[in-house]
Chains A and B, each alone.
Chain A
């Protein structure tokens, strides 16, 4: 790295933008069928070294199949999978520089924590002292030094998760696969563990591919997320892009809470599109990078927290919707308001509760104005 490069602030980690970077994993037109069922449908994707890549989707979308093909437990029906430039099709799981952390953890119940971690190292016929040193290193990494001699059933669920992680990292794989790694933990523990996972990924510099159906988890840990459905990747992007600028209604709806306002495009261009959506309501403007022909049916996707709610008509906002408060859900730190427009559509707005509940002005059946900026929502045609 040159002096100049070092001098600048930490560079953004985005190898997928760099046309020179060679991907660690390449799926090339991969299809996997189980009998008549197509689990993976002509899928092509590149994943880069040091990425924390999340495969996100509902159950049955093919995300686990993709991971199992990387691990060597399934073979694709068509297409090629390359890891580090090598076609891994004919390579069995035990010959791949890939390790997997199983959803059930799959800890060997008859072996102690230390023996579990040493298991893979022993298969490599490493000298004894080297194995012991590596096991110690791994135990320290996951802070389980005290539990080295316990059996898996003698430790808690969170500790088991860490043993599974340590075992799969012990052989220093090029690629670590994590199948719903935090699925069995309760919510509080899951959040702490997410940060731990990110730290460990950074410390070891291993490429992580994680399978999850929990969008919050994917958003927290991943450098990029692939949203999958029916064996296809719908969108691959950074968590922020996926959330702020979903490419399709499916992605917008799958990630987080969203208002989907259907209408037809009136004008488009200059990265924006306008839709007319209901009689008596003002047209709405949102982001649209591609030009959309006028008259096309389109959906404006707008997140509730980007919608302002006020009791008086705001002066200079681009997008304004008039309606009546139908419902208020008080969530403690914020409230969600469901507004019914005169034409009967429901739109959600979220506001942080910065004042005590008794002082707030908005109540049921009140006339309110919703407003948002022209970059808050996106206009989607698919």
Chain B
């Protein structure tokens, strides 16, 4: 392997240090035996035990998971539909305006999105709870799904769909049997993105959640204001592990698929 120059070594080290030292500290202190977060008092897993006995945290985790699954699923359906229309409808009057409006929530400050949704829910008399958080999360994560899916659709060979029509499919069958299976990886990563966004959203959730529907980020945030407890370190470590496993798993699978495909193509040429 080629040796890195001293400059590259330093920038690499600095970059990784900035990214991962905070998380590393958090993980280390989650195994702290003492009550004080900043003083090391020997290795222990007792805070993990405490965590699983804490009803409030478990409830919040359950709510978060429900919200994330529902909102990311709805957002994936809506976002995929929006992407499909924007890519396929061709040119029409106001197309740029429409596509701009789909992507605007990406840059909209979350406080404003949250506030406007809150006002809407009050105006139509919808009681705040799991449903309102799901609706709110769907609203803002839909555009992320749409971005991911439309970037895949742009490179999608339209003659594949025409071939399906030509062979006797109706428009919907062509989508279900040909387009969807081919763009599935993009749809899945759109879903994952929406899922993660919903998992960690604090601002919008705090505007739209009700008393019975506290999500984990809200719970953590309010707990930290009363003082950081080692339990929260443990909880955060679990979340980091889950996310890391997910991300590494996804990238390994896709990498393996790419390698296999390259090998197959090589064989086909011979």
A153: Cβ under 8 A from any B Cβ: yes
In the complex, chain A residues 98-153 whose Cβ is within 8 Å of any chain B Cβ: 98-100, 102-104, 106, 108-110, 119-120, 123-124, 150-151, 153
Q: Which residues of A contact B264 (CB under 8 A)?
A: 151, 153-154
C-alpha spacing A271/B177, complex, angstroms:
61
Q: Is A167 an interface residue (CB 8 A)?
A: yes
Of the listed residues B160, B162, B167, B178, the one surrounded by the most CB atoms of chain A closer than 10 A to its CB is: B167
User: Is B267 interfacial (CB 8 A cutoff)?
Assistant: yes
In angstroms, Cα B164 to Cα A100, docked, is: 10
A156 within 8 A of B: yes
B50, CB-defined interface residue at 8 Å: no
Q: Which residues of A contact B163 (CB under 8 A)?
A: 100, 102, 106, 108, 167
B169: Cβ under 8 A from any A Cβ: yes
B268 touches A123 (CB 8 A): no
A71 within 8 A of B: yes
In the assembly, what is the distance between CA of A296 and CA of B117, in Å? 81
Q: A151-B264, A153-B261, A154-B268 are in contact. Are A93 and B166 (CB under 8 A)?
A: yes
B151 interface hit (Cβ, 8 Å): no
Residue B157 interfacial (CB < 8 Å): yes
Given contacts A94-B166, A123-B169, A153 and B268 within 8 Å (CB-CB):
yes
Q: Does B173 contact A (CB under 8 A)?
A: yes
Given contacts A104-B157, A153-B264, contact A120 B168 (CB under 8 A): yes
Q: Give every chain A residue within 8 A of B267 (Cβ-Cβ).
A: 154
Q: How far is the CA of A93 from the CA of B167 in the complex (A)?
A: 8
Asked if A92 CB lies within 8 Å of chain B CBs, one says yes
A106 to B160: give the CA distance in the assembly, Å.
Answer: 5
Residue among A94, A151, A159 with the highest chain B CB neighbour number at 10 A: A94
Contact of B167 among A72, A110, A119 (CB under 8 A): A119
Chain A hits for B164, CB < 8 A: 108, 119
Q: Is B182 an interface residue (CB 8 A)?
A: yes
Given A123-B173, A153-B265, residue A102 in contact with residue B159 (CB < 8 A): yes
Tell me, yes or no, whether A171 is within 8 Å of chain B by CB. yes
Q: Is B165 an interface residue (CB 8 A)?
A: yes
CB–CB B165/A106 < 8 A: no
Q: Are B169 and A102 in contact (CB under 8 A)?
A: no
Interchain CB contact under 8 A, A94 and B169: yes
Cα-based distance from A156 to B264 in the complex (angstroms): 10
Q: How far is the CB of A163 from chain B (nearest CB, A)?
A: 12
| Among B167, B178, B181, B268, contact of A155 (Cβ-Cβ < 8 Å) | B268
Q: What residues of chain A lie closer than 8 Å to B159, measured between beta carbons?
A: 102-104, 106
Kindly identify which residue among A106, A123, A154 contacts B168, using a CB–CB cutoff of 8 Å.
A123
Bound Cα distance A93, B269 (Å): 34
**Contacting pair B167 A167 (CB below 8 A):** yes
Q: CB distance A100 to B261 under 8 Å?
A: no
Contacts of B269 in A (CB 8 A): 156
The answer for the CA separation of A365 and B157 in the assembled complex, in Å, is: 56
- Check B170 for interface membership: any CB of A closer than 8 A: yes
- How close is A125's CB to chain B, nearest CB, in angstroms? 10
Smallest CB separation, A194 vs chain B (Å): 22
Measured in the bound complex, the distance between the Cα atoms of B245 and A248 in whole Å is 71
| Contact B181–A123 (Cβ < 8 Å) | no
Determine if A13 is an interface residue (Cβ-Cβ < 8 Å): no
Within 8 A of A (CB), among B255-270: 261, 264-265, 267-269
> CA of A86 to CA of B49 in the docked complex: distance in angstroms?
77
Given contacts A73-B162, A104-B157, A106-B162, contact A171 B268 (CB under 8 A): no
Closest to B162 in A: A73
- Give the residue among A92, A98, A108, A124 with the most B Cβ atoms within 10 A: A108
Which residues of B come within 8 Å of A, CB atoms? 157, 159-160, 162-170, 173, 177-178, 181-182, 261, 264-265, 267-269
Inter-chain pairs besides A108-B178, A120-B167, 14 sampled, C-beta below 8 Å: A71-B166, A72-B166, A73-B162, A93-B162, A93-B165, A93-B166, A94-B166, A94-B167, A94-B168, A103-B159, A108-B182, A151-B264, A154-B268, A155-B268
